[in-house]
A and B are shown apart, each in its own frame.
Chain A
Amino acid sequence: EADIYQTPRYLVIGTGKKITLECSQTMGHDKMYWYQQDPGMELHLIHYSYGVNSTEKGDLSSESTVSRIRTEHFPLTLESARPSHTSQYLCASSGAGSGNQPQHFGDGTRLSIL
């Protein structure tokens, strides 16, 4: 079992609120990722990080921002939530090195913006 944790699991909140989705891993992985997934659909990479103080935008444009101040922690923030942000957000991490480094996923946060 991978040790990667996301909180909250579910969040229902009104438009305009600031939201932070938490993601922590205890595996010492350098690389971390955020994906956005509508139910039962494909995953879209929205942010990733190579390590501390490294953040990059993913393949799908997102209004969210991320930070990586500590290796184990990769929070995602929405400054002003809108109904279009309703989705599931999945966090993942992987180790360093050029060999096989599969990504391990958290259980996700299901976000609903009213």
Chain B
Amino acid sequence: GEDVEQSLFLSVREGDSSVINCTYTDSSSTYLYWYKQEPGAGLQLLTYIFSNMDMKQDQRLTVLLNKKDKHLSLRIADTQTGDSAIYFCAETRMDSSYKLIFGSGTRLLVRP
């Protein structure tokens, strides 16, 4: 979506860290989410962060939020070939909390 932007493609070597970036425009965003989509499948919720937090860590995943710059990132430590997928950033807003605004997705390719 035009209000949530992501880079289209990222390629990393197995074992390296991956960082997927996302920018959003609406300052009323409440929750920000990362979803993973494997080929031919639906979206799997990976993690989320509330807009008053700066960082959230969950095993190999670290989410960083810079609210001033409206920038969200997802870091995957020790990236594995099974992490190859499309990663979508999404936000909800105070004025429409039931809707998700999605980015266009970042395709992550993990090379052996």
- For residue A21, give the distance in angstroms from its CB to the closest CB of chain B: 13
A-B contact count (CB 8 A): 51
Interface size of A by Cβ–Cβ distance < 8 Å? 24
- Residues of chain B with a CB closer than 8 A to A34's CB: none
Residue from A42, A100, A104 within 8 A of B48 (CB atoms): A100
- Check if B10 is an interface residue, CB within 8 A of chain A: no
How would residues 1 to 23 of chain A score, 1 for a CB under 8 Å from any chain B CB and 0 otherwise? Answer: 01000100000000000000000
- Residues of chain A with a CB closer than 8 A to B44's CB: 105
Binds B, one of A61-69, A71-79, A106-114: A106-114
Give B contacts to A, CB under 8 Å.
1, 31, 33, 35, 40-45, 48, 50, 86, 88, 97-100, 102-105, 107
Q: In the complex the two chains form, is A50's CB within 8 Å of B31's CB?
A: no
- Residues of chain A with a CB closer than 8 A to B98's CB: 31, 48, 50, 94, 101
Q: In the complex the two chains form, is A42's CB within 8 Å of B43's CB?
A: no
Q: In the complex the two chains form, is B45's CB within 8 Å of A108's CB?
A: no
Give A contacts to B, CB under 8 Å.
2, 6, 31, 40-43, 45, 48, 50, 90, 92, 94, 98, 100-108, 110
- Residues of chain A with a CB closer than 8 A to B99's CB: 45, 48
- Residues of chain B with a CB closer than 8 A to A90's CB: 42-43
Q: In the complex the two chains form, is A40's CB within 8 Å of B33's CB?
A: no
- Residues of chain A with a CB closer than 8 A to B88's CB: 42-43
- Residue ID in chain B nearest A110 by CB atoms: B40
Q: In the complex the two chains form, is A40's CB within 8 Å of B50's CB?
A: no
Instruction: For the complex, give the distance between the alpha carbons of A104 and B45 in Å.
Output: 7
Known: A42-B1, A48-B98. A102 touches B43 (CB 8 A): no
- Residue ID in chain A nearest B4 by CB atoms: A42
